[in-house]
Chain A
Amino acid sequence: MLKIENLSVNYGYITALAGINLEVNKGEIVTLIGGNGAGKTTTLMSISGLVQKASGKITFKGEDITKTAPDKIVKMGVCHVPEGRKIFPVLTVYENLIAGTLGNPTLKKSQISDLVEKNYELFPRLKERSKQNGGSLSGGEQQMLAIARGLMMDPDIIMLDEPSLGLAPIIVEEIFELILKIRKSGKTVLLIEQNASMALSIADRGYVLEIGNVILEGKGKDLLVNPEVKKAYLGG
């Protein structure tokens, strides 16, 4: 469904990605793990068109999206839930959800309210707070709002950038259960995580990124027991 071939990205003189290859098939959960500065976020940002690519090719559903504008990529069904949630702090929770539908002007009012209801079912806490400003939510609630807002686009693939960042362990578990639910509903998930053990345990496949290169790839369960991964990311 999503294919990255030989992608390189530079920030000025710094190489962020040095020719990576990556593939995500329909219905999979694929995770991208690696330390700080490995290029995980850059990979997502290049998929959603937020950074300039030096070389390489990205295709989505067979179409070349390497040079497509971010808003068009969203319309094709790629949803990017950015690192640090990036919810709109002075829109209410409900308005934040509506913001998720802005990329799709063909949606009818009834379809939008269906989507909102569906998300409220998935995230009951958001319903309680629907009239509150996004900025007044707790970290975990903001993360849920960010994911719910992404789901409002009814995307084919949802890309999550560090959804567990800065959250209490119990909330992290909740979020990972949600990711499994999202996959069950027929969506493809590309997940970036620092929390490698959690990510690999729910992923079908994983890629290990190190300073702009894919150094390992394989099934999630295999990577989980791989000695190199264990040593570097799972604390021995």
Chain B
Amino acid sequence: MEYFLNQLVNGISQGAIYALMAISYSVVVGVTGLITFTHGEVIMIGAFASFYIFQFVGNNLILGFVASFIASWLIGMVIYYVCYNRFFESPSHISLICTIGISMLIKNLAQIYFGPNQKPMLNVIDNKVFRIGVLQISMIQIIIVITVIVLAGILSFFINKTRWGIKLRTVSQDKKAASLMGVNVSRTAMIGNCIGCGLAGISGMLISVYYQTLQATMGGSLGMKAFSSSVLGGLTDTRFSALGGLAIGIIENLGIAISSASFRDIFAFGFLILILIIRPEGFATKKGARP
């Protein structure tokens, strides 16, 4: 039982990171209206940006956040102009294939420049462990959960309460109508996409700090996790996507508790398949008509 409870704590902190990935994924998909397969690479770039900052500038967590956000923002800009900007009017599989191509390119360039092997992440957080009864909660886990909650809160405020948020939502709902409102659709979608990518970068940093390791090919499975969590939430709904991420994180870790760590992905994707069989639309219940 003790082990089980502690796995639950691990699941929640890992789920929080998946939740941030899923939120960032659904921001990207929501605002561009196109499915992306570059998200894993964006996450990886964020992780490496913070790694190099920690290595060459110093163990400053805030600086790491900023670096991973900016690096992923920039890579998001490249992806936007290569894969989305010219293809809004085209059939959606064109940009989808383009994102797959770009994802391979980034992954392989990363292997050339960052090296193909696993790197140990520097210890940036003093790894204190708090004991509450039988529960063991580490400093890293607390920081992760707080960071994700704060970022999700900021994003939610930005999207729901500001003029810029309304602008993003008009672009996400109807690009033609948005341009008739005088919105520069291309630029707005670019910035929305980059916000999503920046958040993904931060999630990449968090996961590499959590596991104390990072690798140029780490994006593959993480991108799939972000995608699956987001699918669980109905793809474009940030709140339900976060829930999806959290659920996958918890299921994974509870699954490990009853079997072995190498079965991690079986539980994650098995859960996804199960949910999609029971509720094809994911967790989200849509209110109001959709065009």
Binding site for B on A (CB under 8 A): 48, 50, 69-71, 74-75, 79-80, 82, 86-91, 95, 98-100, 102-104, 133-136, 149, 153
B163 near A102: Cβ-Cβ < 8 Å: yes
Given contacts A133-B288, A135-B289, contact A86 B184 (CB under 8 A): no
User: Shortest distance in angstroms between A2's beta carbon and chain B's nearest beta carbon?
Assistant: 16
The answer to whether the Cβ of B217 comes within 8 Å of any Cβ in the partner chain is no
Q: In residues 144-194 of chain B, which contact A (Cβ within 8 Å)?
A: 163, 166-167, 169-170, 173-174, 176-185
A86 near B174: Cβ-Cβ < 8 Å: yes
**What are 9 A-B contacts defined by CB distance under 8 Å?**
A70-B182, A74-B182, A86-B177, A87-B177, A88-B173, A88-B177, A99-B181, A135-B288, A135-B290
| SS class, residues of chain B in contact with chain A | helix
Residues of chain A contacted by B170 (CB below 8 angstroms):
88, 91, 99, 102
A70 near B179: Cβ-Cβ < 8 Å: yes
Residues of chain B contacted by A135 (CB below 8 angstroms):
288-290
A89 near B181: Cβ-Cβ < 8 Å: no
A71 near B182: Cβ-Cβ < 8 Å: yes
Q: Give the B interface residue count (CB, 8 A).
A: 22
B182 near A153: Cβ-Cβ < 8 Å: yes
Question: Which 3 residue pairs across A and B have the least CB separation, nearest first?
Answer: A103-B182, A74-B182, A135-B289
A102 near B173: Cβ-Cβ < 8 Å: no
Give the residue among B170, B174, B179, B180 with the most A Cβ atoms within 10 A: B180
Number of A-B contacts (CB under 8 A): 81
Residues of chain A contacted by B290 (CB below 8 angstroms):
89-90, 135
Picked from A48, A95, A98, the residue with its CB within 8 Å of the CB of B180 is A48
Q: A70-B182, A98-B163, A136-B288 are in contact. List 11 more A-B contacts (CB 8 A).
A: A50-B176, A71-B182, A82-B177, A89-B288, A89-B290, A90-B288, A99-B167, A102-B181, A103-B182, A135-B290, A136-B287
Among residues of B, the one whose C-beta sits closest to the C-beta of A98 is: B166
The answer to whether the Cβ of B291 comes within 8 Å of any Cβ in the partner chain is yes
B182 near A82: Cβ-Cβ < 8 Å: no
Residues of chain B contacted by A71 (CB below 8 angstroms):
179, 182-185
Among residues of B, the one whose C-beta sits closest to the C-beta of A72 is: B182
Residues of chain A contacted by B289 (CB below 8 angstroms):
89, 135-136
Given contacts A91-B169, A91-B170, A136-B288, contact A86 B182 (CB under 8 A): no
Given contacts A71-B182, A74-B181, contact A89 B167 (CB under 8 A): no
Among residues of A, the one whose C-beta sits closest to the C-beta of B169 is: A91
Give the residue among B166, B174, B183, B291 with the most A Cβ atoms within 10 A: B166
Complex alpha-carbon distance, A99 and B179, angstroms: 11
B176 near A86: Cβ-Cβ < 8 Å: yes
Among residues of A, the one whose C-beta sits closest to the C-beta of B183 is: A102
Complex alpha-carbon distance, A95 and B173, angstroms: 13
Residues of chain B contacted by A90 (CB below 8 angstroms):
169, 173, 287-288, 290
User: Shortest distance in angstroms between B171's beta carbon and chain A's nearest beta carbon?
Assistant: 10
Residues of chain B contacted by A88 (CB below 8 angstroms):
169-170, 173-174, 177
Complex alpha-carbon distance, A95 and B178, angstroms: 13
Complex alpha-carbon distance, A73 and B175, angstroms: 16
Q: Mark B27-62, 1 if CB is under 8 A from A, else 0.
A: 000000000000000000000000000000000000
